[in-house]
């Protein structure tokens, strides 16, 4: 296996999230592997851009396109062309990291090259899942978007047949792969680096939100619930919804903006609970990090949280209130049924006792070492 020539393909490198954390660990496994990507802008990542310094990163022709950074989203229709332009004929193994925006799994490899594609999710905007950008906001963008997406779904299905093996990041995504691509896949959970996530049994009195402040994360639901209850809430993160959230929040809510890795860990360690509200989360790495430091998670009973949070043992899974599932009551864009359900979960928290050791034990099932072992075993079995 040491003689394998390996290449990595990743959608793009402009922001730092769960997909980039997986890419980092793949690069740890194969440190000499170059990374082929549609577009790279490490400066846009801020401090996290330093993580990729020294890597051999090969961007597509789009990198030289005028105003590439601003045009990345609308030009996703040309993503397959970006990845098909790469010459990967020298490699024995290609691992693509495919997510919600571009189609890195569309790289073309030789028949004898093993192509593993790690699927964080089939592109959310193609299959009706909430995304940070609402292309249906205007009638003209909705019409154009639906026409373009129709053809992109066709092509997405076609290129999803190219990899030899599809690897899903959860059973949740495995089901989506089966539904949309009509292919079987293996589940290898994303890697969580537990080395800096030390268990802390004593907690402060605040609740925590730790995610990008964009559409689809449900932060507006959390802010409204916390405002109604008057509970102390710290919101860490930046994004397009920040100013709107501030206008809706009470004096009990503190917005911290961007936080460093060190601050992130301290916030998780000291929080009474981490609150999340994205209804169709692909997996949810932050929920695992919270449990690793002994902090329970309050999350919707849907998506990846069903695999990461054990109800009443490592957190609370909440659902829509009974009899309200057919009619969603929206006020100022916020689903009031979800607000009331979250309020119920928050009020229930004090009546439950969580053993920090149980939370840590659950988090250890998703360790970085386990991820590396499973990836290497898969490659070895197919090489």
pLDDT tens, residue by residue, 66-119: 877 777 776 777 777 889 999 999 999 999 998 766 589 999 999 999 999 999
DSSP alpha helix (H) spans, the chain: 18-29, 68-71, 79-84, 139-159, 171-181, 219-229, 242-248, 261-270, 285-292, 305-308, 336-349, 356-363, 368-382
Mean pLDDT of all residues in 321-350? 75
Cα–Cα nearest to 117, from 85, 158, 89, 159: 159
| Assigned token pair, 362 | 């659950």
Give the confidence band of 144 by pLDDT, cuts at 50, 70, 90.
Answer: low
Cα separation, 226 vs 142, in Å, equals 33
Q: Where does residue 311 rank: exposed (0-12), middle (13-18), buried (19+ CB within 10 A)?
A: middle
Instruction: Give the 3-state secondary structure of residue 154.
Output: helix
- Stronger pLDDT, 324 or 113, i.e. the higher one: 113
Handedness of CA 204, 256, 217, 367 (dihedral sign): negative
Find the range with the poorest average confidence among 28-37, 196-205, 314-323, 347-356: 314-323
pLDDT attached to residue 282: 87
Segment 234-287, tens digit of pLDDT: 999 998 899 999 998 999 999 999 998 899 999 999 999 999 998 788 898 999
Q: Is the dihedral of CA 39, 43, 49, 55 positive or negative?
A: positive
Which stretch of 87-96, 109-118, 302-311, 327-336 has the lowest confidence by average pLDDT?
A: 327-336
Which residues are within 8 A (CB) of 311 and not within 5 positions of it... i.e. 6 or more apart?
301, 317
- Reference 283, options 302, 300, 305; nearest CA is 305
Q: What is the pLDDT of residue 326?
A: 47
- What is the value of pTM for the model shown? 0.87
Cα–Cα distance for residue pair 350/340, rounded to 1 Å:
17
- Please give the pLDDT value at position 268: 98
Average pLDDT score over residue span 146-154: 79
- Stronger pLDDT, 181 or 149, i.e. the higher one: 181
Q: What is the per-residue pLDDT for 130?
A: 64
Whether residue 213 contacts residue 189, with contact meaning beta carbons closer than 8 Å, is answered with no
% pLDDT > 70, the chain:
90
Q: What is the DSSP letter of 367?
A: B
pLDDT beyond 70 at 140: no
Give the residue carrying structure tokens 């006792």: 353
Query: Are 314 and 337 spatial neighbours (Cβ–Cβ below 8 Å)?
Result: no
- Taking residues 20-30, report their average pLDDT: 96
CB-based contacts of 199: which residues, under 8 Å, 6+ apart? Answer: 292, 293, 294, 356, 357, 360
- Report percent pLDDT > 90 for the chain: 67
In this model, does residue 133 exceed pLDDT 90? no
Asked if residues 341 and 320 have their Cβ atoms less than 8 Å apart, the reply is yes
Mean pLDDT of 291-306: 96
Q: How confident is the model at residue 334 (pLDDT cuts 50, 70, 90)?
A: confident
pLDDT of residue 124: 78
Q: What is the pLDDT of residue 167?
A: 97
CA distances from 82 to 55, 64, 261 (A): 20, 12, 32
Please tell me the least confidently modeled range out of 162-166, 212-216, 300-304, 319-323: 319-323
Q: For the chain, which domains are there?
A: 6-191+367-382 (3.40.50), 207-365 (3.40.50.2000)
Mean pLDDT score across all residues of the chain: 89
């Amino acid at each position: 296996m040491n003689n394998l020539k390996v290449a990595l393909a990743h959608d793009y490198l402009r922001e730092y999230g769960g997909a980039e954390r997986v890419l980092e660990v793949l690069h740890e496994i194969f440190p000499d592997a170059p990374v082929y990507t549609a577009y790279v802008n490490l400066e846009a990542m801020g401090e996290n851009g330093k993580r990729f310094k020294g890597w051999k990163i090969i961007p597509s022709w789009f990198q030289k396109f005028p105003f590439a950074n601003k045009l990345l989203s609308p030009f996703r229709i040309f993503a397959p062309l970006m990845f098909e332009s790469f010459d990967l004929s020298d490699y024995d193994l290609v691992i693509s990291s495919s997510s919600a925006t571009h189609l890195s799994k569309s790289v073309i490899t030789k028949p004898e090259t093993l192509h593993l594609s790690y699927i964080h999710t089939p592109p959310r905007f193609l299959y009706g899942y909430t995304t940070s950008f609402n292309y249906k906001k205007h009638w003209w963008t909705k019409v154009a978007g639906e026409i373009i997406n129709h053809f992109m779904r066709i092509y997405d299905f076609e290129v999803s047949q190219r990899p030899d093996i599809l690897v899903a990041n959860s059973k949740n995504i495995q089901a989506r792969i089966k539904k949309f691509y009509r292919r079987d896949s293996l589940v290898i959970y994303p890697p969580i680096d537990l080395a800096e996530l030390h268990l802390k049994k004593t907690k402060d009195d605040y609740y925590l939100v730790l995610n990008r402040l964009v559409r689809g994360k449900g932060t507006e639901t959390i802010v409204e619930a916390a405002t109604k209850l008057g509970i102390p809430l710290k919101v860490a993160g930046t994004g397009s919804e920040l100013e709107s959230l501030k206008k809706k929040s009470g004096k009990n809510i503190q917005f911290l903006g961007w936080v460093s890795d060190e601050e992130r860990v301290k916030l998780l360690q000291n929080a009474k609970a981490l609150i999340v509200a994205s209804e169709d989360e692909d997996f949810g790495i932050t929920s695992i990090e919270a449990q690793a430091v002994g902090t329970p998670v309050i999350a919707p009973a849907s998506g990846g949280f069903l695999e990461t949070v054990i109800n009443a043992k490592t957190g609370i899974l909440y659902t829509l209130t009974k009899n309200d599932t057919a009619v969603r009551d929206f006020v100022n864009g916020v689903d009031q049924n979800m607000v009331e359900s979250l309020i119920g979960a928050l009020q229930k928290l004090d009546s439950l006792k969580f053993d920090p050791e149980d939370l840590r034990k659950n988090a250890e099932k998703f360790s970085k070492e386990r991820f590396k072992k499973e990836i290497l075993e898969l490659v070895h079995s197919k090489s």
